[in-house]
Amino acid sequence: MVMPVESIGALHAFVHAAEKRSFKLAGQIVGLTPSAVGKAMQKLEEQLGVSLFHRSTRSVALTDEGRMFLDRCRTILAEIEAAQAEISYAGAAPRGRLKVSLPVEPTLLLPTISEFGIAYPDIELDLDINDRFVDVIEEGFDAVIRSGEPKDSRLRHRRLGAFAWCLVASPDYLSRNGTPATLADLVQHRCLRHRFPETGRLMPWPVAPDPEAVALPVSIAATMMEPLLELAKRGHGIACLPHFAVHRSIESKLLVELLPGKCEQSGTLNVLWPTSRYPLPKVRVFVDFVVAHLAKEFASLSFDAR
């Protein structure tokens, strides 16, 4: 079956209806009334000869065939967008608004972002700086930088570098409370813990094969890493932070690394962006720029991920 060109609009409406589970919300995005979206979906189902949605008075849900069709539609629409971009931007200088999400880590990332802004003045940077999990596709990000292993098949990624976790505290805190000599000593100390904003769970410290089994106290918890770094420097307790976030404070003796080599896990920092065979020039140059510059930053660190 060959679908008419006007069905491309129906595919857009279908994808939004599937993701929002609502004809009304999909209509708000594509500029149609809920009834118009419903009629377009009915016509699409007639063309395909299958039911794409289970319908109720409050919401819609995909059928098995609808889920299969959704994956194909995302690929089709991404290819159409890429083809349009390739034609529209061929030979053009990178420009336009670039929406990027960054974790709260000023010492490593913001200098690189600042240099990118100078190198590409025609690109308008829209920065979302926080440690929460973001849905790149749903929230309309062009690129994100995050730690951890990428799991979303809709995204491409490139590795920026590997890092180790460090236990750190200020000299003042250690003079008042003593220096832990073993991992078991940590339970006697004030621990500054990171809480995942999405789930409310505390991040386990990677100090044992089963970090969840280590019952560490919680003196202060925060949903972002930066406050924990500042609290550690001000003598409020021991924090577990990425080495790239604390190495300058260690070198300047504002912080002391504790129990070196005892953190048993390392992490990776990646840049991720929506899959497209022909990414927009602004996305392509951003990815290439941060990969090149942050690779140098990681290489310059004297501490290798263990």
Write the pLDDT tens digit of every residue in 165-198. Answer: 999 999 999 999 999 998 889 999 999 999 887 7
Work out the widest C-alpha separation in the chain, in whole angstroms. Answer: 76
CA–CA dist 279, 277 (Å, integer):
6
What percent of the chain shows pLDDT beyond 90?
Answer: 42
Query: Rounded to an integer, what distance in angstroms lies between the CA atom of residue 210 and that of residue 169?
Result: 23
* pLDDT value for 105: 67
Domains of the chain with CATH codes:
7-89 (1.10.10.10), 93-306 (3.40.190.290)
Kindly report the average pLDDT of the chain as a whole number: 85
pTM of the model: 0.60
Secondary structure in 3-state letters for the chain: CCCCCCHHHHHHHHHHHHHHCCHHHHHHHHCCCHHHHHHHHHHHHHHHCCCCEEECCCCEEECHHHHHHHHHHHHHHHHHHHHHHHHHHCCCCCCEEEEEEECCCCCCHHHHHHHHHHHCCCEEEEEEECCCCCCCCCCCCCEEEEECCCCCCCEEEEEEEEEEEEEEECHHHHHHHCCCCCHHHHHHCCEEEEECCCCCCECCCCCCCCHHHCCCCCCEEECCHHHHHHHHHCCCCEEEEEHHHHHHHHHCCCCEEECCCCCCCEEEEEEEEECCCCCCHHHHHHHHHHHHHHHHHHHHCCCCCC
Q: Which two structure tokens, joined as six digits, stand for 182?
A: 């073993």
pLDDT digits (tens, 9 = 90+) for 118-161: 999 999 999 988 877 788 888 888 999 988 777 888 888 999 88
Average pLDDT over residues 92-110: 81
Residues contacting residue 158 through CB under 8 Å, at least 6 positions apart: 270, 271, 287, 291
Task: Write the pLDDT tens digit of every residue in 231-261.
Answer: 999 999 999 998 888 888 999 999 999 998 8
CA–CA gap between residue 114 and residue 94 (Å, rounded): 17
